[in-house]
């Protein structure tokens, strides 16, 4: 019965199933009382010590309806997911955040630090009020990465429908760059073109948020991690599973009941391959950080990047179109196939002749 309830079935559906299978009813109050037995276990799981280092932390809030002072209001539950040094995911914290304001984020991050959160290098989330300041003050060694998908949506929301196709292609060209400096240069070129097309609001939005949206391009983060640390898609998938359950309830009578149900739903969803499968290869994370520190000490210019062919090219682009082929010098798609070695080719042909 509890598994049916956590899987998304309403109390009425559980009651109907119980009558069909056993002929007995399961009233909603009885089911709620049985579920309250797990409240202590949920609190113990929420307040468990955090062991090891967590280089990447993803944070977000899930909104739900709750009765407050005689009326129904929208409140949020803050969720944090961390990726440990073994590359596996784990839910680090769940807490009621009210309105996702600065005080809520500060209290949420402080509670995780008190439980043993350490080794954080990147915090991924949206542009919430107070989140950036909280990360800077309470996690000084960590950097903040704004969700790339939500940032693109914010910019596109300020663009008329007739210019959205061009703007979308231009933004994709910005995020296709290989280095932080080249992405900023490309963004400035796109912003100037936006102003020329009379898209001043979108240009201002791009200039204000591009710096924190391309943090994943900094040298301290491996290239093979970029695709997964530049967005908040991982925690968004978990939020959809949470909403599947909270949508059935509608409005919660108090905050504790909503928090306990969300915690139980999270444990139900993550008790499978979600947490057992390795999400990222963290074996060379320290090597990337050491290489970045060594490059900064020796003063190697970071405006020069290497493309896949191994040649050093300038990261600054000069083409007029934001997605033209001549503007992909610092882009990861600028690949030139190297010429084959004649000796290796002859050896390969000789091998096939012998097999024939």
Confidence band for 281, pLDDT divided at 50, 70 and 90: confident
The Cα 113–Cα 78 span in angstroms is 15
Pick from 213, 203, 208, 210: which is nearest to 185 by CA? 210
Least confident of 30-39, 107-116, 261-270: 30-39
Report whether pLDDT(56) > 90: yes
Residue 265 CB coordination number (10 Å): 22
pLDDT digits (tens, 9 = 90+) for 291-332: 655 554 444 444 343 333 333 333 333 333 444 433 444 444
Query: Taking residues 105-116, what's their average pLDDT?
Result: 92
Pick from 233, 260, 304: which is nearest to 96 by CA? 260
Say which residue, 29 or 87, is predicted with more confidence.
Answer: 87
Residue 69's SS3 state is: coil
pLDDT digits (tens, 9 = 90+) for 212-222: 999 999 988 99
Alpha-carbon dihedral of residues 136, 141, 146, 147, nearest 10 degrees? -140
Question: What does the pLDDT read at residue 76?
Answer: 79
204's tokens:
């201002």
Q: What is the mean pLDDT of the chain?
A: 75
Residue 333's SS3 state is: coil
Query: Cα-atom radius of gyration of the chain, to the nearest Å?
Result: 25
Question: What does the pLDDT read at residue 308?
Answer: 33
The Cα 138–Cα 105 span in angstroms is 11
Pick from 90, 122, 132: which is nearest to 225 by CA? 122
pLDDT digits (tens, 9 = 90+) for 58-97: 998 887 666 656 666 777 788 999 999 999 999 999 988 7
Report whether pLDDT(112) > 80: yes
Say if CB 51 and CB 90 are below 8 A apart.
no
Q: What is the pTM of this model?
A: 0.72
Question: What does the pLDDT read at residue 312?
Answer: 39
The Cα 275–Cα 81 span in angstroms is 11
């Amino acid at each position: 019965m509890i598994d049916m309830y956590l899987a998304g079935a309403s109390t009425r559906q559980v009651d109907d199933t119980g009558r069909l299978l056993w002929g007995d009813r399961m009233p909603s109050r009885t089911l709620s009382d049985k579920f309250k037995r797990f409240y202590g276990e949920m609190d113990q799981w929420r307040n468990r010590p955090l062991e090891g280092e967590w280089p990447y932390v993803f944070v977000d809030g899930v909104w739900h309806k709750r009765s407050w002072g005689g009326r129904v209001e929208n409140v949020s539950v803050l969720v944090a997911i961390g990726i440990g040094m073994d590359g596996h995911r784990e839910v680090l914290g769940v807490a009621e955040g009210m309105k996702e304001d600065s005080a809520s984020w500060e209290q949420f991050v402080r509670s995780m630090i008190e439980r043993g959160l350490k080794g954080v290098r990147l915090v991924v989330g949206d542009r919430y009020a107070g989140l950036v300041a909280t990360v800077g003050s309470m996690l000084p060694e960590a950097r903040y990465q704004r969700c790339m998908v939500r940032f693109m949506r914010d910019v596109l929301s300020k663009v008329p429908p007739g210019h959205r196709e061009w703007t979308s292609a231009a933004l994709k060209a910005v995020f296709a760059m290989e280095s932080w400096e080249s992405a900023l240069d490309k963004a400035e070129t796109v912003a100037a073109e936006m102003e020329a097309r009379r898209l001043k609001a979108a240009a201002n939005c791009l200039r204000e948020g591009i710096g924190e949206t391309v943090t994943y391009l900094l040298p301290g983060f491996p290239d093979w991690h970029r695709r997964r640390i530049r967005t908040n898609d991982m925690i968004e998938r978990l939020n959809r599973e949470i909403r599947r359950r909270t949508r059935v309830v509608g409005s919660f009578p108090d905050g504790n009941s909503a928090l306990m149900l969300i915690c139980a739903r999270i444990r139900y969803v993550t008790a499978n391959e979600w947490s057992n499968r390795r999400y990222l290869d963290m074996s060379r994370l320290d090597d990337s950080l050491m290489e970045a520190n060594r490059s900064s000490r020796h003063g190697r210019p970071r405006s020069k990047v290497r493309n896949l062919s191994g040649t050093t090219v300038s990261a600054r682009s000069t083409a007029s179109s934001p997605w033209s082929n001549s503007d992909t010098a610092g882009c990861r798609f600028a690949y030139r196939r190297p010429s084959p070695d004649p000796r290796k080719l002859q050896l390969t042909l000789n091998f096939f002749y012998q097999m024939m």
